[in-house]
Amino acid sequence: MKFLIKVLVIVSCTVTVLYSQQSTGLVEEFTKLEDHLRNPKLTEEQKKKNFEANMVSSVRSTLSKRFANPKKELKDLKFQDLQTERPEGTNTFYVKYKNYYFQYQFPVDPETYVTSPIEEIVLEKPEGLDLSSGAHKEEKKN
């Protein structure tokens, strides 16, 4: 009986050691994969492609809520139709398309990851409005 208990203890310890070694390997694989996915090494061409796709997708998504027939209205939307500007050190982007102005806040860098904005602001410029005229500035009275 003692012999059987000793054998069972030895077998269970061996099995435990084997499984813990296997899981350590799995943990290491998981960590390496996660690091690879979180920190991709992209070429400039891949970054440009991601950025353009993210901007077009964001504008298309935002404007599809405003148009009665978005597929028809946005069918020919291309990145070349957009003007973009990014304040340095942020994931905030200002975009202009026709008479629409957008401010998008992204959770991660849209050059590196395929993403959608977490916050968006849309402004539509009225026809004939001259933004350089300063029409809303108050006049000082002497």
- Can you give the residue ranges of every domain in the chain? 1-35, 44-124
Distance CA 82, CA 100 (A): 10
Phi and psi dihedrals of 23, rounded to 5? -70, -30
Distance CA 102, CA 61 (A): 12
**Amino acid 85: pLDDT:** 97
Neighbour tally for 56: CB within 10 Å? 19
**Amino acid 67: pLDDT:** 84
Distance CA 84, CA 106 (A): 14
Distance CA 109, CA 47 (A): 10
**Amino acid 5: pLDDT:** 66
Strand, helix or coil for residue 117: coil
Position 40, amino acid: P
**Amino acid 66: pLDDT:** 87
**Amino acid 55: pLDDT:** 97
Strand, helix or coil for residue 19: helix
Low-confidence stretches of the chain (pLDDT beneath 70): 1-9, 11-23, 134-142
**Amino acid 140: pLDDT:** 59
